[in-house]
Structure 1
C-alpha cells in the first residue's frame, strides 16, 4: 500500500482567494499527490459563514482562515483522499463552519478525521486502513490524553490492517524546527509532547505517524520499526501562510507498507511554497538537507537516513 502525506494546507483566506476558484492551487506539484491514501492537514474552514467566532472584527494578530465549500472539490481533484481536521483553524468560524467543512468534504468524496472518537476507515483492495487525527484542542481527538489515544489506536488496530496516525502538535515557526523531549508550549497553549505521544500510539498499534502544525519541517525518527515524521511543514498557504525562511520549505512524503504495516520503502519529495503560497517542486532540494540534518541532530542513531535523491532508509537502532 502507498501512503502520501503533506503538511499544512490553507487554500486561501476569504476575501483573499486564488483566481478561477482555486483550480490551479496544486498544479505546481504535478502528479505527485498519488497513492492509496493521500493525506493533508486542512488548516482552515470551508464555509460561507462570514463571522469568525475566534477573531473579533477589530482584532489584530488573530488569524481566521476560510474558503468557500466548493474548495473541497479542489482537494479531490488534486488527489487527496483524506484530510485531518484536528487543528486550531477548522473551527475558526464556529461549530457551523466546522459542520459545513465536514459536509463539503463528504460531498466532494474526501474523507476527514480528527473529531473526538473518530476512526476513519478506507478500503484498499483487500486491506482496511484506519486513519486517526489528533491535536491539543478539546473539540478534537486530543493528543493531550495519551491513554485515551492509545485506546483509540488499539480499537483501530483491531479492525484494520494498517493504522495511520496524523498529528497537529508542537510550537510554531522557525524557532521550533527541533523536536525535543517533553511538553511544548506556544502562545500559552499546551501543544502536547510529540515524542511521548508518537511513541505511545506506535506501541498501541499505529504503523505510521505523520505530523503538521509547526509550519516548518522537523526531523524523522525510526521507532519500533515504524516511521514518525514530526512535521512536514507548509504545503499550501495562499496569501495566508508565511513562506519566509524555513516556513517556505516543505516536504511531500510517500511511504510504501506491506499488508501488516511493515516498511517497504519511502521517499521525501522536496517542496517549496512559492509566492503567493503555492506548492512547487524545489530544484534546490532544500528539504532533503533540512530533514537529514534535523533527524540526526534530534534522534541520533534513530534518525531516519535521507539520501540525496530523497530515499528514506531506516537506521539500525
Structure 2
C-alpha cells in the first residue's frame, strides 16, 4: 500500500500542488503524523493483596500526563499484567523473590481510554500471569474500550484506521504465548505481511536484560536469569528491513538509547512509565520518557520530542522539571550509537543531521 501511495503522491499530488502554491509548506504540514510511545504500565494489582491498589482506586494515576498523552494522532504503551477482577490460574515461580504476578481490576482499563491510549502491547512476561482466563479478560476489556492490542500468538498484529491513515501494530517478546522476538525470520514475515495492509507499521518489543546495570544496548544476544532475551539491536534493524516505520522497545525497566536506521526511529526501552507498588523505582528505574515521534506519511522520521517523567513514592508518572531522563538519553546516545545522525537538545527535541 505504501508503495502505491508513494507513486500517487510523487507523480500526481506534488505536481498538482506545485501549480497551486508557491511554497511546499501546506504539503509538508499535512503530511506529518505524530505517534506517542511510553513504557511499562501497571496501575495496580489486587494480587497477592488489595494493598497493592493505588489511592482513589487509581483514578488519578495518569492525570498529571493526560494532556501530553492526548496530544498525538496515535498513543501506545506496554500493558504489563492482566485486566482481571479475580480468579485465574496464577503462574508458578521457581524463585518468588524475582517473580511477580499482576492482576489489575478490569475497571482500570477505562483509565487508559480516558487519557488517550489507542493501542497497547500484550507481548511481555506478565500478560500470561493468570493463564488463559487472564488473557481472555484482558482482551475482552480492551475490546470493549476500543483499545487495540497485539503480540499474543492468537493476536500477533492489529490494524486500525484513524483520520484516513491505516496503522498496524505488531509486538514481540521472548515469553510463552507471545510472538517470539528471537525468531527473526518469522517476525520479518509478519512485518512484511502487515506492511502490505497498512500505511504505517509500528513494532513493539519486550526484550533485553533488566535493571540499571543493563542500560546499554550491547548489540548482542542478552541473557538474563538464564533466559534468552533476544538481540534487540539486530531485531530492531531487521524489522525495519522488513517494513517497520517505528520501533518502540520496553522490558529492561530503565530507559535505553534511541537509534536511527534507514530513516526510521528506534528507542530500545522506555522504562517504567506508570507502575504502582510492585516495581523498583529507585534512580534510573524511576525515570521514563514520553516519546512523541513525528513522521511523514511514508513513515520517515522527521523529529521527536521527549517529555521527561518520573515516578516517586509507590509510583505514578509526573513531569520531571529537572529533565533527568533527557540527560540519560543524551548520555546513552553518545556512548551506544555515536554513529547515529541524531542529536538531543537539553529540552528533549531529537533531530537528525546530515553530517557528523
Alignment equivalent of 1:146, drawn from 168, 171, 184: 184
Moved more, 48-57 or 184-193: 48-57
Aligned pairs, how many? Answer: 317
Residues 153-162 or 121-130, more deviating: 121-130
Root-mean-square deviation over aligned CA pairs = 1.7
Q: Deviations over 1:46-89 (max 9, x none)?
A: 11234553246994442111111111111101111111000000
Instruction: State whether structure 2 residue 99 is matched by structure 1 residue 62.
Output: yes
Per-residue CA deviations over 1:16-56 (Å, capped at 9, x if unaligned) read 11133311010121401022211110011111234553246
In structure 1, distance between residues paired with 2:312 and 2:243: 37
1:202 aligns with 2:240: yes
Contact 1:86 1:168 in 2 (8 A): yes
Structure 1 CA distance for aligned equivalents of residues 324 and 116 of structure 2: 25
**What does 1:28-107 align with in structure 2 at a 5 Å threshold?**
28-34=64-70, 35-50=72-87, 52-55=89-92, 59-107=96-144
TM alignment of 1:278-297, pairs within 5 A? 278-297=316-335
Partner SS, residue 301 of structure 1: coil
> What is the SS of the residue equivalent to 2:288?
strand
Match of 2:29 in 1: none
Deviates more, 1:41-50 or 1:212-221: 41-50
Distance 1:252 1:82 in 2: 15
Q: Secondary structure at the match of 1:312?
A: strand
CA contact (8 A) 1:168 1:212 kept: yes
Structure 1 residues 57 and 300: CA distance shift in structure 2, 3 A = closer
Decide whether the 8 Å contact of 2:38 with 2:76 is kept in 1: yes
SS of 1:302 mapped into structure 2: coil
- Residue 264 (structure 1) shift: 2.4
- Distance across 1 between alignment mates of 2:195 and 2:83: 31
**TM-score normalised according to structure 1 size:** 0.96
Specify the alignment match of 2:212 in structure 1.
174
Q: What's the counterpart of residue 187 of structure 1?
A: 225
User: 5+ unaligned residues in a row in structure 1: which ranges?
Assistant: none
Q: Is the 8 A contact 1:301 1:315 kept in 2?
A: no
CA 1:191–1:59: 2 relative to 1, 3 Å: closer
C-alpha distance after superposition, 1:135-176 (max 9, x if no partner)? 112311111100011111111111111100011110111111
Shift of 1:109: 1.9
Distance change >3 Å, CA 145–CA 30, structure 1 → 2: same
Corresponding residue SS for 1:132: strand
Q: How many angstroms apart in 2 are the aligned matches of 1:256 and 1:58?
A: 43
Instruction: Give the structure-2-normalised TM-score.
Output: 0.86
| Secondary structure in structure 1 of the residue aligned to 2:69 | coil
Equivalent-residue separation in structure 2 for 1:17 and 1:111 (angstroms): 25
| Structure number with bigger Rg | 2
Report what 2:307 is aligned to: 269
Q: Name stretches of at least 5 consecutive residues in structure 2 with no aligned partner.
A: 1-32
Q: Which consecutive segments of 4 or more residues in structure 1 shift more than 6 A?
A: none
CA distance in 2, matches of 1:198, 1:87: 16
Match of 1:256 among 270, 294, 298: 294
